[in-house]
Chains A and B, each alone.
Chain A
Amino acid sequence: MSTETAKPPLSAKKPPAKRRPAKVESSWSIMDRIGLGLAWAAGISLCVVAGLIVVYMAYKGIQYVSWDMITSAPEASLDQSATGGFLDPILGTLLLTTIGIVIAIPIGVAVAVWLTEYGRPSGLARAVESGVEIVAGTPSIVLAIFGLLIFQQTFMGLFSFTAEGGAVFGRSFIAAGAMMSIVALPMIIGSTREALMSIPRHVREASYALGKDKATTIRRVLLPSARSGIATGATLGMGRIAGDTAIVVILLGASMTISPEGSGPFGLLKGTGSTLTSYVYNNSPAGEGNAPEKAYAAAFVLLLIVIVLNALVGLIGRRNKPQWN
């Protein structure tokens, strides 16, 4: 520290005194103020609209929903007060969501695993990725009529009601469930891929070093750690399935109550029914029904289901974050 390096000398002139007045005109121009005002306006209107929707749905829902409605089945009746509740639609929603997710999870996880852990040839991998993106962007109405097309073929007669003349009805829980699984697929694939990709390389290397092959590594090490990612994707998928109306309206046969086609669980799957979404639609002025109270009540229950699923997603994400050290 005792040697000085050569520093150029200060100039002989005194440095110019740069003084500026302390208070200048404000640094906010007119455009800036307008921008700020617009941002505030947007924010406030967002609060207002969001608040209105939430409050209104809660108000109407609580006004009309009753324990009775949730537990009794719908009945056909000319008298509004005797049309029963919406137990069957609730069961329909639950059943359909289950079917959709049960089909989508294994397929989705398998595809995600293939994409992240293998993915050869790369052309095929990219094609699969594009395919998943296309599905993600496809309107559910298109999936619905495509589903109808498939399930009305004679070789698919197994999956729904077949009339004597050979005409396949094509509408059943399994038909709708299969299409719903396509709806949920991109979310499961996306979340699982993210979860798998966030597992650092040294975890895999450690497993290989212990003599485990790739398949075992995936099964025993990677997938269990990706559990929360898979759960997140599944929950998001369930939310989407529960809220979808187009596929239900077209592929579920629009029967008021759950009407199995044959006996046993398979008969149930072959049968028709309705869900909360189609029930709301049918009871609104757009459908044939004329029971806005029932529609509000059912919408309220549907909303609760969606809120719970949403909250679950948040909880899963936070609680099971795997720690990698």
Chain B
Amino acid sequence: MELKQEPHNGSAPAGAAVPPLRRIVIEAETAPIHVGDRIIDQEAFPDPADGALIDQEAESAWVEQRMRTEALSIAYGGKVAVNEVSLEVNSGEVLALIGPSGCGKTTLLRSLNRLVELTPAARRTGRIMLDGESVDEFDVTHLRSRVGMLFQQPNPFPMSIFDNVAYGLRERGSKRPRKKELEPIVVDALERAGLWDEVSKNLNHPALALSGGQQQRLCIARSLAVSPEVLLLDEPCSALDPISTAIIEETIVGLRSEVAIVIVTHNLQQASRVADRVAFMYLGDMVECGAAGQVFGAPLAERTKEYIGGGFG
């Protein structure tokens, strides 16, 4: 496999401050399996059907584990949507869940903030841990204030921009914070979401008057305002135009040092652009999980290879 070029980080001097992830990937030995006509060495790697293939070396010293699932299974009625998936979500990195439609990635995402419980027929087994405690142990509304979510269709409330961002802060607990207390938080959230410049003059305008991309960034700001530890993104750009998509991807990458980010996407290019780690799911099983460069460049499982090569999905 050709060695990748040196990463070109426009702002970083060569060699310094390059994320350890990339360094490991780039300096890795060529793997025995790769696309093309090289022989696949089956013995060195366990059969994909036995369990997910995880590239251990993708772990980095900068990341900190926030959430973890252990043998998580979710079924709707009789149909199994997620089958015994074990996964880690770490702050400091973006984890992308990829796979064809119906593979369970959205269901998995929605179980992380227990939103899957809103569907009446859903049954969950296995454990989900947030900072070492099972998510079932505490109040579901408290969980959701620590694990935020962004939806496919931007869904700002029919209120002003300010009220949207302040919503999560106002509607929890008994003491309603005053506007003066809220202002700095709102401004900060809008800045981190990359929307402040565009709306700083019209905070009282209806949020629904914004464009699609702006609305989605508003939703990001709204989620950030409650200071979550994890942010779940369910195909956030699929309803947006390319320019808005690019802005949001940039925002996402910029946020990953503060918040653990999990993004579900069916767009492989997007995954390669934003993700540090990638998990590939197929029909409810997690087939492979590893560093983005490794999964895309040298996928370990046959299925992954087919999917990335465009064979299906």
Contacts and interface: CB of A to CB of B under 8 A. Distances in A.
Interface in B287-303: 293, 296-297
Interface in A21-36: 22-27, 29-31
Interface in B228-274: 229, 253-254, 256-258, 268, 272-274
Interface residues of A, number: 28
A6 B22 CA distance: 11
B4 A15 contact: no
A8 B252 CA distance: 11
Given A15-B91, A15-B92, A17-B64, A23 B139 contact: yes
A323 to B, nearest CB: 27
Interface string A110-147: 00000000000000000000000000000000000000
A24 B257 contact: no
Interface string B216-233: 000000000001010000
Given A4-B22, A17-B64, A20-B146, A11 B137 contact: no
A38 B270 CA distance: 49
B10 interface: yes
Nearest to A18: B229
Nearest to B253: A7
Contacts of A211: none
B39 interface: no
28 contacts: A1-B268, A1-B297, A2-B4, A4-B22, A4-B293, A6-B7, A6-B8, A6-B9, A7-B253, A8-B253, A9-B9, A9-B18, A9-B19, A10-B256, A10-B257, A15-B62, A15-B91, A16-B258, A17-B64, A18-B227, A18-B229, A22-B131, A23-B137, A23-B138, A23-B139, A23-B142, A24-B142, A27-B173
Contacts of B22: 4
Complex A-B, nearest 7 residue pairs according to Cβ-Cβ distance, in ascending order: A29-B174, A1-B296, A27-B141, A9-B17, A22-B133, A22-B138, A5-B273
Contacts of A25: 173
B56 interface: no
Contacts of A22: 131, 133, 137-138
A29 B174 CA distance: 5
A8 B94 CA distance: 13
Nearest to A2: B297
A318 interface: no
B233 to A, nearest CB: 16
Nearest to B292: A4
Contacts of B258: 15-16
A12 interface: yes
A280 to B, nearest CB: 45
A6 B5 CA distance: 12
B172 interface: yes
Interface string B59-72: 00010100000000
B123 to A, nearest CB: 24
Nearest to B11: A8
Contact of A11 (B4, B172, B257): B257
A19 B130 CA distance: 10
B173 A10 contact: no
